[in-house]
Structure 1
């Protein structure tokens, strides 16, 4: 719901911030006993996760220092860093919730199967009537509408849906099959009608992998469907003038064409922004940080379609905002989380890397929360006394009784030592 915001004492508050407070309050009220039990049997956190957390903290502090001294608008940069800090808090809250992770993923998918059909219905109504509503955005290249839901822009909704789908894919063996298939279908269609090309590419491979790893009849169905789809797209793109402007097919074609057009359109806009940022980094030094979101504060946005300007390439923005040190700290934390994630989570990280070339998702809470859902709990592997093992696994240990020794006596009546 990044498209909905409210101002409070100079700060912009998103609905996700309010939901985080509600989540923390609900968790503390519901599981006080579990918190006490966890304090008795919790293992020492993984060194990998502790190091990742240290990297994130150092990254925030590094960017905050550069924002304070180098940013054109220090207070604006620091407010955004407060946002980031809240996202990290959300990550920690979800990590230490006393709820099975697969259950959390299932609950999220159930919410998606309710919310996203409403979004899609609003998108269909807007394209059928030509009347814009709050759930869509007019496409710059045609007369059609892109789905954006209650997010700030379609790219963010595509990122949320795609990352959620990747999390579901990694947990597919632990989820109800009907729920997984229904949510996957809804999320896939929603991603498609956001017209976000980066999300399309990853989506194709996720679906292909999911079907290919299933039964043989599904593989045959996939090969047949892929052949028909490829042939259809080839005919449509080769049809030339028979496709009327404003059609969905023409919208898709124009978006792909603009991606490789460096003289006008999206491709030209992003290439120009990246070139300016790299030139300024070369001038000031690669270890010099300009401050968080400083690029938007020091450049005019008059030539953009929606009046906003920011470095959409996350990895370049990391260097611009905090220098190479900040880049290495964030990337190090990212790689450490990846190495500790459960099997099957590779597509989540591939999707994140791909999406971050066209938008900056770390401003918002969903990628942080989704990432920690992929890190398996280590409560089942405590490093403390062996007595903690059965309790961590949910097995209650029977109280010790001296009578047990009598049952263990050897034939000579001696107690074994």
Structure 2
């Protein structure tokens, strides 16, 4: 017995010494060559993520969803911006392929796949053509094309493989809730800032939160997916959305809130009436302080001027939109295919404030400017095919409307998260598989206790 303890202690000491040596060497390398250390850590993390993703679709989804939320984490390599989703996307695609191979019942063919292919391929093809023909900086436009392809490439595979929506919603909510909680805590320490989480900027964070709340609304009809625990877990997300001070996201949240009230009117009439009274009182107060609000662009100012195109960023955006419309109207036949991806800033290298290149915030105007009317037509085909593939269209409307509102003032077409959120409403629940776990999912049985109950009922 003593010998075993001694041997165990010796092995533990050897492991501890090895760990100390490894940590010492790692610190030395990090101090001597930070770039090498960063590359080594990134490579190790990528390898670990690849192994976990291929072995488990749950790990793959969790890693991919975190990468979608962390679109503001980036590094520039050779003039090209690299984000976590660029690494997570191929891993997730491989994981989906491996998962569909292991679980034949997970395959969910859609009759609208052809429309998705025509729309996405057509949109990218027109953009590539116009980028090479008309863009002043072809390389910059082609880099944006790569970004768009990385965002779109997951849509079709995700609509053809049915995932466990209970885990998808629960894990996604947990990840975004953790980011939101940390962001709200940071805001409380420094209220002068706007919440942006790990997103590219606060407007993107607002759109991200609004989109995921729309996903929760869509799945709320299934109590096995959106449970009370999930709703409690999601509580920090709307708080973070409000603290982004993104007015378009506020409007999107209000639209979803109205849909929630209509959906729950019969079940909670008193709560709905109280909410309407509170909204009326709040609206009256904001109307009263409209002309007495303090400094421009503060939180209260943005609340009072939630729709304002005469001052602040609203007037700035409207001025750039007018410029874009004028330039489109002055084009010849090039208006049919646009002038290339993200080309507005190339044709307008100085914005009205003389700070930097002009940014065309509206996705709808950007599409017509970049890919013309042909490219916009392909975009419509893509969106219509996505919506036609949705199982419960009435419940998906708030998500699509919320994203449409947010993208009207902040162009998020280059990021993957809005495409992924919409694709989640298309995938059907897994209806059967050769494996026991797939059968459990098909019957809505997730936890071990539920599986034991199911087996007990089946054998009785």
Q: TM-score scaled to structure 2, two decimals?
A: 0.71
Distance change (3 Å), C-alpha of 1:99 and 1:340: closer
Matched, 1:347 2:416: no
Helix, strand or coil: the match of 1:213?
helix
Moved more, 178-187 or 346-355: 178-187
Moved more, 241-250 or 98-107: 241-250
Moved more, 1-10 or 361-370: 1-10
Distance change (3 Å), C-alpha of 1:72 and 1:111: same
Residue 19 of structure 2: aligned partner: none
Residue 74 of structure 1: aligned partner: 138
> Is 1:163–1:351's contact at 8 Å kept on the other side of the alignment?
yes
Residue 330 of structure 2: aligned partner: 283
Residue 382 of structure 2: aligned partner: 333
Residue 269 of structure 1: aligned partner: 316
Q: What do you get for the CA RMSD once the two structures are aligned?
A: 3.0
Write the distance in 2 (CA, Å) between the matches of 1:244 and 1:318. Answer: 37
Distance change (3 Å), C-alpha of 1:304 and 1:339: farther
Aligned residue among 398, 406, 423 for 1:372: 423
Residue 5 of structure 2: aligned partner: none
Pairwise CA distance, 1:266: 1.9
Write the distance in 2 (CA, Å) between the matches of 1:219 and 1:28. Answer: 47
Pairwise CA distance, 1:79: 0.8
* Count, aligned residues: 364
Residue 2 of structure 1: aligned partner: 71
Pairwise CA distance, 1:223: 1.9
Distance change (3 Å), C-alpha of 1:291 and 1:199: same
Residue 150 of structure 1: aligned partner: 198
Aligned residue among 137, 155, 162 for 1:91: 155
Helix, strand or coil: the match of 2:361?
coil
1:387-406 aligned within 5 A: 394=439
Pairwise CA distance, 1:11: 1.7
Pairwise CA distance, 1:165: 0.5
Residue 364 of structure 2: aligned partner: 315
Distance change (3 Å), C-alpha of 1:173 and 1:279: same
Distance change (3 Å), C-alpha of 1:145 and 1:237: farther
Pairwise CA distance, 1:236: 4.6
Write the distance in 2 (CA, Å) between the matches of 1:148 and 1:124. Answer: 13
Q: Structure 1 unaligned segments of length 5 or more: list them.
A: 128-143, 382-387, 396-417
Pairwise CA distance, 1:304: 4.2
Higher helix share: 2
Cα deviation code 1:49-101 (max 9, x no counterpart): 22222221011011100101110001110111011111122324534556323
Write the distance in 2 (CA, Å) between the matches of 1:241 and 1:278. Answer: 32
> Is 1:148–1:155's contact at 8 Å kept on the other side of the alignment?
yes
Residue 222 of structure 1: aligned partner: 272
Pairwise CA distance, 1:199: 1.6
Helix, strand or coil: the match of 2:235?
helix
Pairwise CA distance, 1:179: 3.2
Aligned residue among 168, 191, 194 for 1:104: 168
1:120-135 aligned within 5 A: 120-127=184-191
Write the distance in 1 (CA, Å) between the matches of 2:92 and 2:236. Answer: 26
> Is 2:162–2:428's contact at 8 Å kept on the other side of the alignment?
no
Helix, strand or coil: the match of 1:260?
coil
Distance change (3 Å), C-alpha of 1:206 and 1:306: farther
Residue 191 of structure 1: aligned partner: 241
Helix, strand or coil: the match of 2:408?
coil
Write the distance in 1 (CA, Å) between the matches of 2:111 and 2:267. Answer: 44
Write the distance in 2 (CA, Å) between the matches of 1:61 and 1:240. Answer: 48
Q: TM-score scaled to structure 1, two decimals?
A: 0.78
Write the distance in 2 (CA, Å) between the matches of 1:82 and 1:48. Answer: 24
Write the distance in 2 (CA, Å) between the matches of 1:55 and 1:250. Answer: 41
Residue 252 of structure 1: aligned partner: 303
> Is 1:301–1:309's contact at 8 Å kept on the other side of the alignment?
yes
Distance change (3 Å), C-alpha of 1:154 and 1:228: same
Write the distance in 1 (CA, Å) between the matches of 2:339 and 2:71. Answer: 25
